[in-house]
């Protein structure tokens, strides 16, 4: 894939329904992951139906809202006005055939993650206290993880996590990949990275590459861009002065995250152990 095919730029202004980013399996050229971002104004209503073969995880990135799905309703959800407040988000799981409805009480930024499902689960609210916080890495690879839908939490295909990379740090590092259906050693998972930068005029750097370098692209990522990772290793760097947030969505034929480290850089793990 060419460099231009790996980045989906955020729209400069929201569409009529608030749309800022749209990634479908067809547009990405893969099978499992869909991803959308919407920006809503106070009082704006939003509806998004999970079709009969797709589950959704709606992540309230910022703002406050009333929401309903699957005959359940939740009032006044949302605790952060910016992803960089480092508070854990409210999220809504929506099974196939159900509709998410949302009314923005303030300005809202909403991410909608999607993947195949059969309809085995019920709609539910994922509250901040349901989300585990993990500090991963050491030194200038240390970053903060919010485990929204890890494999220990109920979903049929989706794996969803958000990551805070402080300025001057690296994440998704040492480099790893998950592009082979070779369990138990490695799982096949498509992945999207939705990036936010603070301050917004900054940038992040993300490299996507394979062992044979048939894919080897170094990307300059701006605030609001989404990076597609169809295969290969995919480390991220936050330049000095600019904190980087990203929301990851993964899905594949088996809902498990088994990754393979780049052998050229695996020695770094041994240094951490020391």
Task: Please write the tens of the pLDDT for every residue from 183-229.
Answer: 999 999 999 999 999 999 999 999 999 999 999 999 999 999 999 99
pTM: 0.96
Buried b (16+ CB within 10 A) or exposed e, 115-146: bbbeeebebbebebeebeeeeebeeebebbbb
Per-residue pLDDT tens over the stretch 128-143: 999 999 999 999 999 9
- Measure the CA–CA gap between 201 and 177, rounded to whole angstroms: 29
Residues 6+ apart with CB under 8 A from 129: 88
State the Cα–Cα distance between residues 239 and 236, nearest whole angstrom: 10
Q: What is the mean pLDDT of residues 54-63?
A: 98
In angstroms, how far apart are the furthest CA atoms of the chain?
54
247 band by pLDDT with thresholds 50, 70 and 90: very high
Q: How far apart are the first and last CA of the chain?
A: 39
**Given a cut of 80, is residue 3 above it in pLDDT?**
no
Task: Give the pLDDT band (50/70/90) at residue 163.
Answer: very high
CATH code for 13-273?
A: 2.60.120.10
Contact (Cβ atoms closer than 8 angstroms) between residue 181 and residue 266 = no
| Average pLDDT value for residue range 60-78 | 97
Tokens found for residue 187: 């799982």
Whose CA is closest to 263, among 201, 190, 188, 176? 176
């Amino acid at each position: 894939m060419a460099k231009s095919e790996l980045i989906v730029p955020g729209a400069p202004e929201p569409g009529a329904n608030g749309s800022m980013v749209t990634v479908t399996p067809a547009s990405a050229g893969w099978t499992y992951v869909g991803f959308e971002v919407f920006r809503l104004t106070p009082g704006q209503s939003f509806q998004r139906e999970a079709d009969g073969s797709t589950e959704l995880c709606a992540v309230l990135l910022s703002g406050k809202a009333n929401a309903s799905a699957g005959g359940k309703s939740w009032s006044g959800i949302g605790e952060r006005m910016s992803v960089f407040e480092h508070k854990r988000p409210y999220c809504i799981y929506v099974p196939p055939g159900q509709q998410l409805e949302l009314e923005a009480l303030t300005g809202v930024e909403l991410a909608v993650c999607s993947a195949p499902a059969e309809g085995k689960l019920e709609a539910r609210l994922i509250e901040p206290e349901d989300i585990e916080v993990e500090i991963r890495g050491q030194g200038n690879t240390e970053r903060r993880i919010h485990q929204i839908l890890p494999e220990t939490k109920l979903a049929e295909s989706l794996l969803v996590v958000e990551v805070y990379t402080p300025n001057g740090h690296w994440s998704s590092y040492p480099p790893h990949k998950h592009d082979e259906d070779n369990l138990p050693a490695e799982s096949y998972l498509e992945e999207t990275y939705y990036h936010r930068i603070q301050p917004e005029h900054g940038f992040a750097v993300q490299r996507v590459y394979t062992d044979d370098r048939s894919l080897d692209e170094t990307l300059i990522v701006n605030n609001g861009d989404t990076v597609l990772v169809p295969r290969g290793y995919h480390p991220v760097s936050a330049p000095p002065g600019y904190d980087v947030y990203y929301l990851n969505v993964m899905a594949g034929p088996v809902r498990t995250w088994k990754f393979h480290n780049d052998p050229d850089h695996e020695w770094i793990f041994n240094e951490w152990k020391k």
